[in-house]
Amino acid sequence: HAGSCANTDRETASAKNKCLAEAGAHVPASFDAFGDLIGSVYDSMVKEGHIVPAEEVPPPTVPMDYSWARELGLIRKPASFMTSICDERGQELLYAGMPISDVLQKNVGIGGVVSLLWFQRCLPPYVCKFFEMCLMVTADHGPAVSGAHNTIVCARAGKDLVSSVVSGLLTIGDRFGGALDGAAKQFSEAYDSNLHPMEFVNSMRKKGQLIMGIGHRVKSINNPDVRVKIIKEFVIQNFPAYPLLEYALEVEKITTSKKPNLILNVDGVIATSFVDLLRNCGSFTSEEAQEYINIGAINSLFVLGRSIGFIGHYMDQKRLKQGLYRHPWDDISYVLPEQYN
Protein backbone atom coordinates (compact mmCIF):
# COMPACT_ATOMS: atom_id res chain seq x y z
CA HIS A 1 0.00 0.00 0.00
CA ALA A 2 1.12 3.59 -0.32
CA GLY A 3 4.09 4.28 1.89
CA SER A 4 4.97 0.58 2.49
CA CYS A 5 8.57 -0.50 2.63
CA ALA A 6 10.17 -3.89 1.65
CA ASN A 7 13.65 -4.32 3.08
CA THR A 8 14.23 -7.77 1.46
CA ASP A 9 12.74 -9.78 -1.44
CA ARG A 10 10.79 -11.91 1.04
CA GLU A 11 8.90 -8.83 2.17
CA THR A 12 7.59 -7.94 -1.32
CA ALA A 13 3.98 -8.57 -2.39
CA SER A 14 4.97 -10.97 -5.14
CA ALA A 15 6.97 -13.12 -2.67
CA LYS A 16 3.99 -13.21 -0.29
CA ASN A 17 1.61 -14.17 -3.14
CA LYS A 18 3.98 -16.97 -4.19
CA CYS A 19 4.07 -18.36 -0.67
CA LEU A 20 0.27 -18.23 -0.44
CA ALA A 21 -0.06 -20.09 -3.78
CA GLU A 22 2.44 -22.78 -2.67
CA ALA A 23 0.43 -23.20 0.53
CA GLY A 24 -2.72 -23.94 -1.53
CA ALA A 25 -4.41 -20.55 -1.56
CA HIS A 26 -6.03 -19.25 -4.74
CA VAL A 27 -4.02 -16.20 -5.73
CA PRO A 28 -5.06 -13.92 -8.64
CA ALA A 29 -2.49 -12.70 -11.10
CA SER A 30 -3.50 -9.10 -10.34
CA PHE A 31 -5.97 -7.19 -8.23
CA ASP A 32 -8.20 -6.71 -11.27
CA ALA A 33 -8.62 -10.48 -11.56
CA PHE A 34 -9.60 -10.83 -7.89
CA GLY A 35 -13.35 -10.89 -8.60
CA ASP A 36 -13.08 -13.37 -11.44
CA LEU A 37 -11.04 -15.73 -9.28
CA ILE A 38 -13.62 -15.59 -6.48
CA GLY A 39 -16.33 -16.47 -9.04
CA SER A 40 -14.41 -19.45 -10.42
CA VAL A 41 -13.62 -20.80 -6.95
CA TYR A 42 -17.29 -20.45 -5.96
CA ASP A 43 -18.48 -22.27 -9.10
CA SER A 44 -16.05 -25.15 -8.54
CA MET A 45 -17.15 -25.53 -4.90
CA VAL A 46 -20.77 -25.63 -6.02
CA LYS A 47 -20.00 -28.39 -8.54
CA GLU A 48 -18.15 -30.38 -5.90
CA GLY A 49 -21.08 -30.02 -3.51
CA HIS A 50 -19.24 -28.07 -0.89
CA ILE A 51 -21.70 -25.17 -1.26
CA VAL A 52 -25.45 -25.39 -1.76
CA PRO A 53 -26.67 -22.09 -3.24
CA ALA A 54 -29.56 -20.50 -1.30
CA GLU A 55 -32.51 -18.88 -3.03
CA GLU A 56 -31.86 -15.27 -3.88
CA VAL A 57 -33.99 -12.97 -1.73
CA PRO A 58 -34.44 -9.37 -2.89
CA PRO A 59 -33.01 -6.92 -0.38
CA PRO A 60 -35.58 -5.02 1.71
CA THR A 61 -36.47 -1.58 0.45
CA VAL A 62 -34.96 1.15 2.59
CA PRO A 63 -37.76 3.60 3.49
CA MET A 64 -37.32 7.15 2.24
CA ASP A 65 -36.44 9.68 4.89
CA TYR A 66 -39.64 11.30 6.20
CA SER A 67 -38.36 14.87 6.07
CA TRP A 68 -36.98 14.39 2.57
CA ALA A 69 -40.20 12.78 1.31
CA ARG A 70 -42.29 15.59 2.77
CA GLU A 71 -40.00 18.17 1.19
CA LEU A 72 -40.44 16.49 -2.19
CA GLY A 73 -44.20 16.55 -1.72
CA LEU A 74 -44.52 12.76 -1.84
CA ILE A 75 -46.27 12.50 1.52
CA ARG A 76 -48.13 14.69 3.99
CA LYS A 77 -48.76 14.36 7.68
CA PRO A 78 -52.28 15.05 8.90
CA ALA A 79 -52.36 17.86 11.46
CA SER A 80 -53.38 17.11 15.04
CA PHE A 81 -54.41 20.72 15.71
CA MET A 82 -55.92 23.47 13.60
CA THR A 83 -55.64 27.16 14.38
CA SER A 84 -56.70 30.27 12.50
CA ILE A 85 -55.94 33.10 14.94
CA CYS A 86 -52.21 33.11 15.60
CA ASP A 87 -48.97 32.04 13.89
CA GLU A 88 -45.66 32.13 15.75
CA ARG A 89 -43.53 30.19 13.22
CA GLY A 90 -42.14 33.04 11.14
CA GLN A 91 -39.81 35.88 11.91
CA GLU A 92 -42.64 37.81 13.57
CA LEU A 93 -45.67 36.77 15.60
CA LEU A 94 -48.96 37.17 13.74
CA TYR A 95 -52.37 37.87 15.30
CA ALA A 96 -54.98 36.82 12.72
CA GLY A 97 -52.48 37.72 10.00
CA MET A 98 -51.41 41.07 11.52
CA PRO A 99 -47.74 41.29 12.60
CA ILE A 100 -47.31 42.07 16.27
CA SER A 101 -45.29 45.17 15.36
CA ASP A 102 -48.34 46.54 13.52
CA VAL A 103 -50.55 45.68 16.49
CA LEU A 104 -48.34 47.88 18.66
CA GLN A 105 -47.59 50.64 16.14
CA LYS A 106 -51.23 51.06 15.15
CA ASN A 107 -52.17 51.20 18.84
CA VAL A 108 -55.18 48.91 18.43
CA GLY A 109 -55.28 48.42 22.21
CA ILE A 110 -56.67 45.51 24.18
CA GLY A 111 -59.97 45.83 22.31
CA GLY A 112 -58.15 45.44 19.00
CA VAL A 113 -56.29 42.37 20.24
CA VAL A 114 -59.61 40.89 21.37
CA SER A 115 -61.10 41.55 17.94
CA LEU A 116 -58.15 39.84 16.23
CA LEU A 117 -57.86 36.78 18.47
CA TRP A 118 -61.57 36.24 19.15
CA PHE A 119 -63.10 37.27 15.82
CA GLN A 120 -60.17 36.98 13.34
CA ARG A 121 -60.59 40.51 12.00
CA CYS A 122 -60.01 44.16 12.79
CA LEU A 123 -63.28 45.56 14.06
CA PRO A 124 -64.24 49.27 14.02
CA PRO A 125 -62.73 51.51 16.74
CA TYR A 126 -66.07 51.95 18.56
CA VAL A 127 -66.36 48.14 18.82
CA CYS A 128 -62.87 47.86 20.32
CA LYS A 129 -63.75 50.68 22.72
CA PHE A 130 -66.93 48.82 23.70
CA PHE A 131 -64.87 45.70 24.49
CA GLU A 132 -62.48 47.70 26.67
CA MET A 133 -65.34 49.43 28.51
CA CYS A 134 -66.97 46.07 29.24
CA LEU A 135 -63.70 44.70 30.60
CA MET A 136 -63.30 47.76 32.82
CA VAL A 137 -66.81 47.80 34.27
CA THR A 138 -66.84 44.03 34.90
CA ALA A 139 -63.30 43.85 36.33
CA ASP A 140 -64.53 43.70 39.92
CA HIS A 141 -67.61 44.14 42.07
CA GLY A 142 -66.26 43.78 45.58
CA PRO A 143 -65.16 40.87 47.77
CA ALA A 144 -68.66 39.67 48.66
CA VAL A 145 -69.57 38.10 45.30
CA SER A 146 -69.02 34.36 45.03
CA GLY A 147 -66.09 34.48 42.60
CA ALA A 148 -64.06 37.02 44.57
CA HIS A 149 -65.00 35.28 47.83
CA ASN A 150 -63.67 31.93 46.57
CA THR A 151 -60.48 33.54 45.34
CA ILE A 152 -59.92 35.21 48.71
CA VAL A 153 -60.59 32.03 50.68
CA CYS A 154 -58.14 30.06 48.53
CA ALA A 155 -55.50 32.78 48.75
CA ARG A 156 -55.80 32.81 52.54
CA ALA A 157 -55.48 29.03 52.54
CA GLY A 158 -52.02 29.44 51.02
CA LYS A 159 -52.93 28.39 47.51
CA ASP A 160 -51.07 29.74 44.47
CA LEU A 161 -52.33 32.41 42.07
CA VAL A 162 -53.64 30.05 39.39
CA SER A 163 -55.50 27.81 41.85
CA SER A 164 -57.07 30.79 43.62
CA VAL A 165 -58.20 32.51 40.41
CA VAL A 166 -59.55 29.28 38.95
CA SER A 167 -61.61 28.66 42.09
CA GLY A 168 -63.23 32.04 41.52
CA LEU A 169 -63.78 31.50 37.81
CA LEU A 170 -65.51 28.18 38.45
CA THR A 171 -68.36 29.98 40.24
CA ILE A 172 -69.30 31.83 37.04
CA GLY A 173 -72.60 30.53 35.76
CA ASP A 174 -76.25 31.46 35.34
CA ARG A 175 -76.47 32.76 38.91
CA PHE A 176 -73.21 34.69 38.94
CA GLY A 177 -71.86 36.53 35.95
CA GLY A 178 -72.65 33.89 33.37
CA ALA A 179 -76.06 35.28 32.51
CA LEU A 180 -74.72 37.10 29.44
CA ASP A 181 -75.12 34.17 27.08
CA GLY A 182 -78.52 33.29 28.52
CA ALA A 183 -79.70 36.89 28.26
CA ALA A 184 -78.48 37.17 24.68
CA LYS A 185 -80.36 34.04 23.65
CA GLN A 186 -83.57 34.88 25.50
CA PHE A 187 -83.84 38.48 24.33
CA SER A 188 -82.76 37.77 20.74
CA GLU A 189 -85.17 34.84 20.38
CA ALA A 190 -88.05 36.93 21.75
CA TYR A 191 -87.17 39.87 19.50
CA ASP A 192 -86.75 37.67 16.42
CA SER A 193 -90.12 36.04 17.15
CA ASN A 194 -91.76 39.48 17.15
CA LEU A 195 -92.97 38.98 20.71
CA HIS A 196 -94.19 42.16 22.34
CA PRO A 197 -92.13 42.90 25.49
CA MET A 198 -95.23 42.25 27.63
CA GLU A 199 -95.81 38.93 25.88
CA PHE A 200 -92.19 37.97 26.50
CA VAL A 201 -92.42 38.78 30.22
CA ASN A 202 -95.73 36.89 30.58
CA SER A 203 -94.43 33.86 28.70
CA MET A 204 -91.35 33.64 30.92
CA ARG A 205 -93.54 33.93 34.02
CA LYS A 206 -95.81 31.13 32.77
CA LYS A 207 -92.76 28.93 32.17
CA GLY A 208 -91.52 29.71 35.67
CA GLN A 209 -88.19 30.88 34.25
CA LEU A 210 -86.11 33.88 35.21
CA ILE A 211 -85.30 36.47 32.57
CA MET A 212 -81.53 36.43 32.32
CA GLY A 213 -80.00 39.91 32.55
CA ILE A 214 -82.91 41.26 34.60
CA GLY A 215 -82.67 41.86 38.36
CA HIS A 216 -80.06 42.75 40.94
CA ARG A 217 -79.74 41.95 44.64
CA VAL A 218 -78.57 45.45 45.58
CA LYS A 219 -79.30 47.85 42.72
CA SER A 220 -82.80 49.01 41.77
CA ILE A 221 -84.68 51.63 39.79
CA ASN A 222 -84.17 53.97 42.75
CA ASN A 223 -80.52 52.99 43.18
CA PRO A 224 -79.36 52.52 39.57
CA ASP A 225 -76.20 50.73 38.52
CA VAL A 226 -73.81 53.34 37.09
CA ARG A 227 -72.09 50.64 35.04
CA VAL A 228 -75.31 50.00 33.15
CA LYS A 229 -75.77 53.72 32.55
CA ILE A 230 -72.24 54.08 31.13
CA ILE A 231 -72.57 51.15 28.72
CA LYS A 232 -76.08 52.15 27.64
CA GLU A 233 -75.08 55.75 26.85
CA PHE A 234 -72.02 54.63 24.89
CA VAL A 235 -74.08 52.24 22.77
CA ILE A 236 -76.75 54.83 22.03
CA GLN A 237 -74.13 57.40 21.02
CA ASN A 238 -71.85 55.14 18.94
CA PHE A 239 -73.63 52.05 17.62
CA PRO A 240 -75.26 52.34 14.17
CA ALA A 241 -78.31 50.45 15.48
CA TYR A 242 -79.30 48.90 18.80
CA PRO A 243 -82.79 47.36 18.43
CA LEU A 244 -82.20 44.55 20.94
CA LEU A 245 -81.05 46.98 23.63
CA GLU A 246 -84.16 49.07 23.02
CA TYR A 247 -86.25 45.92 23.33
CA ALA A 248 -84.55 45.06 26.63
CA LEU A 249 -85.20 48.55 27.96
CA GLU A 250 -88.91 48.11 27.16
CA VAL A 251 -88.85 44.83 29.09
CA GLU A 252 -87.19 46.66 32.00
CA LYS A 253 -90.07 49.14 32.15
CA ILE A 254 -92.46 46.24 32.64
CA THR A 255 -90.40 44.32 35.20
CA THR A 256 -89.54 47.36 37.34
CA SER A 257 -93.22 48.26 37.50
CA LYS A 258 -93.68 44.97 39.32
CA LYS A 259 -90.57 45.16 41.52
CA PRO A 260 -88.02 48.01 41.64
CA ASN A 261 -84.93 45.77 41.67
CA LEU A 262 -85.91 43.93 38.45
CA ILE A 263 -83.71 46.27 36.44
CA LEU A 264 -81.67 45.57 33.33
CA ASN A 265 -78.40 44.65 34.99
CA VAL A 266 -74.86 44.83 33.67
CA ASP A 267 -75.12 41.31 32.23
CA GLY A 268 -78.27 42.23 30.36
CA VAL A 269 -77.02 45.52 28.93
CA ILE A 270 -73.71 43.99 27.75
CA ALA A 271 -75.43 40.91 26.30
CA THR A 272 -78.05 42.79 24.29
CA SER A 273 -75.54 45.40 23.15
CA PHE A 274 -73.13 42.66 22.09
CA VAL A 275 -75.84 41.06 19.93
CA ASP A 276 -76.60 44.46 18.38
CA LEU A 277 -72.87 44.84 17.69
CA LEU A 278 -72.59 41.45 15.98
CA ARG A 279 -75.68 42.05 13.87
CA ASN A 280 -75.23 45.68 12.90
CA CYS A 281 -71.53 46.63 12.85
CA GLY A 282 -71.16 45.40 9.26
CA SER A 283 -68.26 43.04 9.97
CA PHE A 284 -70.27 39.81 10.35
CA THR A 285 -72.83 37.93 8.30
CA SER A 286 -76.07 36.99 10.04
CA GLU A 287 -74.85 33.38 10.20
CA GLU A 288 -71.55 34.40 11.82
CA ALA A 289 -73.35 36.62 14.33
CA GLN A 290 -75.65 33.78 15.37
CA GLU A 291 -72.74 31.34 15.59
CA TYR A 292 -70.89 33.58 18.05
CA ILE A 293 -74.04 33.84 20.16
CA ASN A 294 -74.41 30.04 20.14
CA ILE A 295 -70.81 29.22 21.06
CA GLY A 296 -70.80 31.43 24.18
CA ALA A 297 -68.64 34.29 22.94
CA ILE A 298 -70.65 36.92 24.78
CA ASN A 299 -69.89 35.58 28.25
CA SER A 300 -66.19 35.77 27.38
CA LEU A 301 -66.10 39.49 28.16
CA PHE A 302 -67.24 38.88 31.75
CA VAL A 303 -64.82 35.97 32.23
CA LEU A 304 -61.86 38.01 30.98
CA GLY A 305 -62.86 41.18 32.81
CA ARG A 306 -63.56 39.57 36.15
CA SER A 307 -60.24 37.67 36.01
CA ILE A 308 -58.57 41.05 36.45
CA GLY A 309 -60.42 41.57 39.73
CA PHE A 310 -59.78 38.03 40.97
CA ILE A 311 -56.05 38.50 40.45
CA GLY A 312 -56.29 41.78 42.33
CA HIS A 313 -58.03 40.12 45.29
CA TYR A 314 -55.39 37.37 45.37
CA MET A 315 -52.55 39.89 45.42
CA ASP A 316 -54.39 41.99 48.01
CA GLN A 317 -54.73 39.10 50.43
CA LYS A 318 -51.08 38.13 50.03
CA ARG A 319 -49.99 41.73 50.49
CA LEU A 320 -52.10 42.05 53.64
CA LYS A 321 -50.67 38.73 54.88
CA GLN A 322 -54.12 37.40 55.77
CA GLY A 323 -54.24 34.05 57.52
CA LEU A 324 -56.46 31.01 56.98
CA TYR A 325 -60.13 31.95 56.71
CA ARG A 326 -62.71 30.25 58.89
CA HIS A 327 -66.34 31.26 58.70
CA PRO A 328 -67.81 32.38 62.07
CA TRP A 329 -70.28 30.03 63.77
CA ASP A 330 -72.78 32.82 64.45
CA ASP A 331 -73.21 33.29 60.69
CA ILE A 332 -74.14 29.64 60.11
CA SER A 333 -77.60 28.20 60.67
CA TYR A 334 -77.16 24.61 61.81
CA VAL A 335 -80.20 22.57 60.77
CA LEU A 336 -79.75 19.02 62.00
CA PRO A 337 -82.29 16.19 62.36
CA GLU A 338 -83.68 15.65 65.86
CA GLN A 339 -81.60 13.33 67.98
CA TYR A 340 -82.95 9.90 68.67
CA ASN A 341 -83.91 9.09 72.26
- Domains of the chain with bracketed CATH: 83-122 (no CATH), 178-320 (1.10.230.10)
User: 264: which strand partners?
Assistant: 214
Each residue's pLDDT tens digit, 276-308: 999 999 999 989 998 998 888 888 999 999 999
Q: Does the annotation mark 1 as catalytic?
A: yes
User: What is the pLDDT, as a whole number, of residue 77?
Assistant: 78
Position 75 scores a pLDDT of 79
Q: How many residues does the chain have?
A: 341
Per-residue confidence (pLDDT) for residue 31, from 0 to 100:
83
User: What pLDDT was estimated at residue 187?
Assistant: 94
pLDDT of residue 160 exceeding 90, the answer is yes
Q: Residue 71 burial (CB < 10 Å; 0-12/13-18/19+)?
A: exposed
Q: Does residue 212 contact residue 268 with C-beta atoms inside 8 Å?
A: yes
pLDDT of 189 reads 92
CB distance 242 to 248 below 8 Å:
no
By percentage, how much of the chain surpasses pLDDT 90?
58
How far apart CA 64 and CA 79 sit, in angstroms, is 21
pLDDT tens string 320-341: 999 999 999 999 998 988 876 5
Rounded distance between C-alpha atoms, residue 281 and residue 283, angstroms: 6
Query: For 115-135, how does the pLDDT look when each residue is reduced to its tens digit (9 = 90+)?
Result: 999 999 999 999 999 999 999
Q: Is the pLDDT assigned to residue 15 strictly greater than 90? A: no
Question: What is residue 11's predicted lDDT score, i.e. its pLDDT?
Answer: 76
pLDDT at position 1: 56
Most confident of 132-136, 180-184, 210-214, 294-298: 132-136
In this predicted structure, which of 27-36, 185-194, 266-275 has the lowest mean pLDDT?
27-36
Confidence of residue 169 (pLDDT cuts 50, 70, 90): very high
Give the pLDDT score at 2.
56
Specify which residues 94 forms β-bridges with: 87, 99
Average of per-residue pLDDT across 17-28:
86
- Integer Cα distance of 164 and 317 in angstroms: 11
Kindly state the average pLDDT of the residues 189-217. 91
Phi, psi of 99 (to 5 degrees): -60, 145
Per-residue pLDDT tens for 219-277?
888 888 999 999 999 999 999 999 999 999 999 999 999 999 999 999 899 999 999 99
Indicate the range of 33-37, 175-179, 248-252 predicted with least confidence: 175-179
What was the pLDDT predicted at 125?
94
Confidence tier at 146 by pLDDT (50, 70, 90): very high
Cα separation, 303 vs 307, in Å, equals 6
Q: CA separation (Å) from 148 to 40, 159, 180, 225, 228?
A: 93, 14, 19, 19, 21
Label residue 19 by pLDDT band (50, 70, 90): confident
pLDDT of residue 3: 59
Residue 15 φ/ψ, nearest 5 degrees: -65, -40
